[in-house]
Structure 1
């Protein structure tokens, strides 16, 4: 009982927000000391990543095996495709509406534009670095469907696991799970028991790692603000605010969908989502949130565990709703920043390109995720390389919002795909 209370306390939203605020204040007042705390957050995230791939592979293979035995595979596949398309369109449209209504890139003050100029043109080497990153991260062939499909197939699954390539590991797990599902149960029972043991062990380890969350949040926010300060936040405040509004709307929509799909009250639904919400804020790593998502949907809200264990890794890896809405907002912001007026056809093009860039971002984090904004800017001939450093400066905040939308949004997608739980 005592450990349950501690677990509930560390995942309390007010504790999470308070830890972030205290850490930010510490980083602003003692920046040199705060930067030395950054390694604590790095170690914590590495510990979570350590369990991600074995957890994902064991959950997918074991769930596919059970799915085949339960039947209904073709109906589930069609439902997955429909939800993927609907969710992608929804987040893209919401992001576009918010940016077009708020116009964060228009009517920017002279002081803010001066800050932009200092950040973009700080020195020659910085500009050159951004250009090199742009050229390396955004090759034209990234839009080639054949190259994208070829990159999904792991030539060596052990190399993919060693490199932490979650997408290739997912493809292997799906194919292997489909094959195992066709093997007679009397032969595959040993593998099923081993995979179930790995799954529960990883889930228990994730549970233990939740206890030091307040301390980890304090150290991570202190190190980040101690390094960057508040200058970049002031310069990009209007974009961050617009992206926050779009993310908040999507989070509310996702919570309502989960509530309506479950058999519980709104309070019970929100309480069940506390763990993935807190982990998304703390780690900014959607894969690390998979065990808590499965626990919340299956144990907390009563959705079928066999479906949840299969769909959570699948949606986290492929349905990248967080990056999708980010790419829409970033592209429209850059267009407004440069005074580029957009017609209906151009807005639709931005939406489609952002969805494509979102799917292409599978397995990517940080700088690489931000750099894919250039895929959408290329359609409008916007100079994204000049604005790249602006987005990079505020990415820690945007990354939190992207991860939150990805985790809670995918929980909503899973709740729509799964059958409604029976009312108790």
Structure 2
């Protein structure tokens, strides 16, 4: 685990460095010329596109497998007892709330602080136009037709991601109802498929510095220094949205958890420090359990059940950040999603948040955001550049998740609080 985390941490630094070098080299080539001219530029662009396609080929099998195993695990957890069922239901309500907040926050932030249009234009120079799909004027009935795929295999081949996600959810719940002798090998099979896809993604990510360098060099050739300004704007917008959803859980803990604001803040602070330094909810789990018991008056049995369950299946900032990225890309490309596309993206974001819990940040970035972009009809070409700066928003994702997990643990305890609390 330490080796994998060290690799991913160093990979983040390498990718960020590759982005900076690519933008700098591209800006220099824009000013003084690129050796080999258009032939060199086309070759570098092809390398970047090859790397992106290698990531894209894992999306459908990875998402389907993760959802099937994630839904099956949630169903198993809900059957373990009343407290676990209560926690799972609360997770569902809060994920729905965070999804609604995500759209409101994304559009609100873009209204207050829009993307620099000239910078966006330069950044997208040379990238493909928005793909054909359900137009902005398409009726909501068109969206309803896409929810249940008449042919899941065809839906997969056509990147009809919402239909695949919905089919995976039904498949996961159906698998959870099977007798144990059938359920275990079926879930194990999809768990193995998901792990195999993750291995492929990790292999592809080993070439991330080269891929990001190739893509960012092309961006630097057209956008120059303007690209850096847009990327910094992106980091700020996504980070602010994640900070906002984390702050919401302070009053929720006070109102529904019946604990004072100062007490909750003091209890959460040590876990937040660990989350900030490790970018891992799992690494923060021991501190969360300790502080929930010692500072929030939660019985150890409750904390020992709810907090591991929260870390395993509940990530409240996932819809916020993932929808934020997709909506940011939509604004970059000048795409106005229809109500149907936005509804599809929201439903996809909620369900995807379940399946991608626990994945490393670089892996989950593509596994969770690419399906949402596909549902919205947004091209994926910007995702590698945004991956390069994801290390900063990921800090605030983890902070929000840890804060939410501790608040939910106190809320689940409900009326069974200690005397004098």
What residue in structure 2 maps to residue 58 of structure 1?
none
Q: Does 1:86 align with 2:70?
A: no
CA distance in 2, matches of 1:262, 1:254: 10
Structure 2 matches for 1:265-276, cutoff 5 A? Answer: 265-276=260-271
Residue 378 (str. 1) matches residue 385 (str. 2): no
Shift of 1:263: 5.3
Q: Tell me which residue corresponds to 2:339.
A: 344
2:330 pairs, out of 305, 327, 335, with 335
3-state DSSP class of the match of 1:236? helix
Deviation at 1:413, TM superposition (A): 1.9
2:122 aligned partner: 114
Q: Tell me what 1:208 maps to.
A: none
Contact 1:320 1:361 in 2 (8 A): no
Q: Give, in angstroms, the shift of residue 151 of structure 1.
A: 10
User: Does residue 311 of the first structure (1) align with residue 267 of the second (2)?
Assistant: no
The 5-angstrom pairing of residues 243-262 of structure 1 reads 243-262=238-257
Aligned residues: 281
Contact conserved, 1:326 with 1:402, CA < 8 A, in 2? Answer: yes
Q: Gapped runs of 5+ residues in structure 1?
A: 1-23, 32-63, 122-134, 166-227
Q: Secondary structure of 1:85's match?
A: helix
- Flag the 1:79–1:144 CA change in 2: closer, same or farther, 3 A: same
Residues 81-230 of structure 1 mapped to structure 2, 5 A cutoff: 81-103=88-110, 107-111=115-119, 113-115=121-123, 144-145=167-168
1:369/1:231 CA distance change after superposition, 3 Å: farther
Answer yes or no: is 1:399 the counterpart of 2:407.
Answer: no
Structure 1: distance between partners of 2:241 and 2:387: 19
Provide structure 2 residue ranges, at least 5 long, that are not aligned to the other structure: 1-12, 21-76, 129-155, 177-182, 196-215, 217-224
- Calculate the TM-score normalised by the size of structure 2: 0.57
- Please give the alpha-carbon distance, in whole angstroms, between the structure 2 residues aligned to 1:315 and 1:149: 19
Q: CA RMSD in A?
A: 4.1
Distance (whole Å) between structure 2 residues aligned to residue 397 and residue 150 of structure 1: 39
Does the CA contact (< 8 Å) of 1:327 and 1:373 recur in 2? Answer: yes
Aligned to 1:354, the other structure's residue is in SS state helix
1:155 shift after superposition: 5.7
CA gap of 1:76–1:367, structure 2 versus 1, over 3 A, is same
CA shift in 2, pair 1:358/1:113, >3 Å? same
